[in-house]
Each structure stands twice: as C-alpha cells, then as structure tokens.
Amino acid sequence: MSNGAPSSLPPAPDHARTIWRFVMTQNPFYLLSVCFVLHGTAFWFQQQGGEFSPWPLMGLICGYVALMAVTGVLLVRWGRVWDDARSILAVILLLLTELALTFDDVLIRQPETGTALLLIGCGFSMLTCEAVLRLIGIRLRWGFRGPLHAMLALLFLYPLWVLEGAQTSSALVVGRVYGFHLVMAGVWLLLWRAVRGGSAYIAGHGTPWKWPVFPWAIFVFLGVGLALRGFSLGSAFDPATSLSTADAMTLQSAYAPYFLAPTLLAIAVLVLEAGRLSGNLITRGVGLCLPVAAIGLSCLPQQLNVPQQLFLQQFEATAGSPLWIACVAVVGVYALALARGMTAAATPLWLTLLALVFVGPATHNPGELVLPQLVPAALAAVAAAGLALGFRDSRWWMAAAVPLALCLAALPLPLELRVQGSVAGLAVLLTLIVITGRDAWTRQLGFLLLQVYFVASLALALQLDRGDWQLSALQRVAGLLGLPLLSGLIALRLWTAPAGWFAGIVGGIGCLRGGYDLTELIRLTTGWAGVQSFAIGLLLFGAGLAISIRKARRQSGEVSGPGDFVSPTG
C-alpha cells in the first residue's frame, strides 16, 4: 500500500458538531438562565433577617420577566424562531410562579405590604401574558384564555383570603387551605368548553405548534405552579402556633398528598370527556384510572408529622376522612362519565360504591375498614339493578346480589348472625337469578353454584365449622335441608344430567345427615324416642312414590328428567 492511498476506516464522528447542533436546535440557555436566577433570588431571604423591604426583589423578578417577554416577542416577530419562543414562554410561567410564592413570608409578617405585592404581581402577570399572546400573534380563544387568567388570579390572590381567615379565627385556616384545592379543581373544570372543542377549537391559532402540545403545555406548567402554591399555603399557614418550639423549627408542613385529589378528579373529568369525543381508547383508559389514583393519594400513611395530625383532626371534625371524601367524589365522577355515554365507567362505579360499604368517615387507609354499612350497600344494589335494566345484562343482577347480601350483614344484629345471614341471603339471591335468567351467563352461574352447594353440604355434614364460627344444631339442619332445595331448583332450571347428579348428591347428603340431625334435635327436645323410625318411614314412602312415578312415566312413553336414559326400543 502506497503512502498516499486513502484510508478505508470510517471518519471519526464529529462530537463537537453534534453538540453544537443540539445547542442550536434546543437552546437550553434560557432554562439554565432562569435556574441561576431562581437560585440567586433564593439567597435574598437567607441574607435578610426579620422585617425587610421586599420591593427591590419584586422589581428584580418583574424586570427579568419583562426581559424574557420582550425577548420572546422579538424572536418571533423579527426572527421567526418559534422553538426558542416556546422555551421562553415556559420560563415566563415558571418565573410568575416564583413571583407568587416569593412573598408568603412577607404576607404573614407584613400583611399590608404582602397584600400590595400580591395584587401588583397578579396584575403584572395577567398583563404580561396577555401582551405576549397579542404581540406574538397567538390567537387563543377564551375557552383557554379565561382559565389561564383564572389560574393566575388563583395563584396570587387566594392567599389573601387565607390571611383574612387567619386574622379572624385559626379554625378557618384549615378549611381555607384545603379549599384552595377545591377552587383549583373548579378552575380546571373551566377548560370543559375547550376540551369539547378539540383540535378544531384552536384552528388558525397563528403558531406552528401542534395539538395537543399546544396549548395544553401552558396548563401543565400552570398546574405545577398551582400545586406548589397549595404546598406553600400548607407550609405557611399550618397550625404552628400550637407546636413546641422544637417541632416548629423543623419546618414540617401540614401538606399531604390527599390535597391533590380534587384536582386529579377534575382533570379526570376533562380526560374522560376528551376520550369520549375522540374515541381514543388510551385517553379513556387514562381517564378511568385517574380517579383510582385519587383514592390512592387519599390513603394516609401510618405515621404523620405533628402539623399533619393537627390539620387532619380539624379537617375530619368538619368534613370526614380524606379517603371517604375521595370515594364519594369518585362515585360522582364515574356517574357523570356513565351519564355521558361511557359504558366502561359502569364497573368502576359499582366497585367504588361497594368500597364505600366498608369505608366510613373515619377510615384513613385499607387497614381501617369498617363493618358493612346499610346505606352504601343499598345504593350499590340499586345502581347494579339499574345497570341490569339499562344494559339488559344478567351479570349486573349478579352484581346486585352482592350488596344486597351486605345489606343483611349491615342489620343491627350480632356479628355472627350478620355474616351467616349475608351468606344465606347471597345464596338465595343468586339462585333466584339462575332460575329467572335466560342467557349463558346465568347457566354458567348455575353450574358454579351447584359445585359450591356440594362443597358446603360436605362441610356441614362433616362439621368443619368448628371454632369461633361454630353453627348451632338448628342452623346446621337449616343449611343441610336448604341446600338441597336450592340445588333442586337450579337443576330443574338447567335440566341437564350433570346438574341432576349434583343436585341428587347434595339432596342425599342433606336428607341423610340433615334428617338425622333433625330427628336427634326433635328427640332431645320432645323426648319422642320413635321419631327416627317415623322419619325412616317417611323416607321409604318417598322412595316408593318416586319409583311409582318413574314406572308411570315409562308406561306413558315419556322421558323423565335429567339422567333418565331410555333405550330406542324401550
């Protein structure tokens, strides 16, 4: 190979050019700039002690926001650099959030000054956003623009209402701190019109940005800012006055994850409506899962810090446990989705109603479930019955049987009787469903019940119920004689040989063991020594009558019930 021959190795990658291309397209310096600015302004409070003048800091942050806004407008109007303008808009929303959260301490220490700062900040933020939208040429309809300004107003002005309550009575603070999240959920619901409009609602918006990133990214950033505002309220206005000095100095907050549950439910309503209109299965699935996540957020851990305990005590005295409130609200969300035509919400609606049977106003987590409650059980049964009539589906009648049995368990009786009554009631209700049903689901349920009744008969006959739940002699006899009756009704409905054999076995076990126990019970109660002989006589009479009926049907040429096989020449 000559010295001048070209090399066959591939050229080394130009890492410098790759990095340069990334920097030019993504331009991360605006985000890095705001990070350093936020870090620099944080030292303002660390270097100032006690009361100080916050106006220079206010001017510093507002000036930087104005600089960013002017830069974004110039980049679009004279440079058409939409990617950088998008980053700048996100940065402006973060800076406005910082502006709203910066002066909470000033509001508490210097109420008049803090009020003036928040009012000026609210006006400045609304004017800045409106000016940027208009100067850049972004045509955003009021279905989006109205909620945008409402979120900004909530971010700045709500602390003034909490402060007024704190100055009047400390008991008002608890409701108003949590009420922020209820109001925030209501503000999110203002986007209902925009959600119903879909992508057509932003037609001709004047930017190259695509739906749904635009304009929903704006509300994602604002949603994060509102969540931070809620955390700030829980930290600034917690009941620290009742803490010891050591506890207060740990800077623990009364804020807990269940504060976010109302907002999550409001977002779920919007996502469900978006999924219904678009027909997107993933969107609908996310909308159906968000309420479950809200219930998960409302489950309290075993250990809470002191401010959280104090806040929770006052909150429960007013409304109830967060888990109970979340379950009630989730029922409303799923009911709305069902009313809007989303049939997939029927099952989670029924399951949530069923969960409310065991969740009370004082339940904090799944480890503190209560005994079945009558009213939620009745509501779950009525809901399932309504779904059965509306969908014409027998499976919902089966679902209605479960809460009906729980209604029996909720009656004011001893716990043992309530459990036994609910089990017996469930068996009777399911048997009635099999008898009256006319589809494949009821037939499958019938075969399943026959197997369950067979196992239950064996358990009763062998007296496998020893222990805390041991049945009395009368209860055992009732079970042994009642199961053959239910099995016989199911066998007559199904009219197949396997069903007949199962019912016959259950009947044999019930008659033999149940009859023996019944005669023993009568003998011990009345002293009648011949009761067993009398019972055997009745049993033999029944056997003779059955044989006679069989002969009569054979002679008349009819085929008897299940299991009776007649030869072709018979």
C-alpha 21/C-alpha 227 separation (Å) is 35
> Residue 285 is encoded by which pair of tokens?
């699935």
- Classify the C-alpha dihedral 85-90-94-100 as positive or negative: positive
C-alpha 112/C-alpha 55 separation (Å) is 13
C-alpha 371/C-alpha 375 separation (Å) is 12
> Residue 198 is encoded by which pair of tokens?
């879909």
pLDDT for residue 331 = 96
Number of neighbours of residue 345 by Cβ within 10 angstroms: 24
CA 440 to the chain's CA centroid? 32
First to last CA, the chain: 104
Low-confidence ranges of the chain (pLDDT < 50): 1-2, 4-9, 12, 14-26, 39, 43, 45-50, 240-250, 559-570
C-alpha 130/C-alpha 121 separation (Å) is 14
C-alpha 87/C-alpha 99 separation (Å) is 18
pLDDT for residue 421 = 81
pLDDT for residue 178 = 86
C-alpha 445/C-alpha 402 separation (Å) is 14
> Residue 465 is encoded by which pair of tokens?
């119920």
C-alpha 270/C-alpha 192 separation (Å) is 6
Asked if 535 and 520 touch (Cβ cutoff 8 Å), the reply is no
Asked if 188 and 263 touch (Cβ cutoff 8 Å), the reply is yes
C-alpha 351/C-alpha 7 separation (Å) is 71
> Residue 545 is encoded by which pair of tokens?
């009558």
> Residue 172 is encoded by which pair of tokens?
């008002």
Number of neighbours of residue 83 by Cβ within 10 angstroms: 14
pLDDT for residue 35 = 54
Angle at 46 between CA 251 and CA 28, to 5 degrees: 100
- Residue 440 has, within 13 A of its CA and on its CB side, a CA count of 0
Q: Reduced to 3 states, what is the DSSP secondary structure of residue 299?
A: coil
Q: Reduced to 3 states, what is the DSSP secondary structure of residue 292?
A: helix
State the pTM of this model.
0.76
| Count of all residues that appear for the chain in the document | 570
pLDDT for residue 246 = 43
- Residue 391 has, within 13 A of its CA and on its CB side, a CA count of 19
C-alpha 342/C-alpha 525 separation (Å) is 60
pLDDT for residue 276 = 93
pLDDT for residue 46 = 45
pLDDT for residue 467 = 56
C-alpha 456/C-alpha 503 separation (Å) is 13
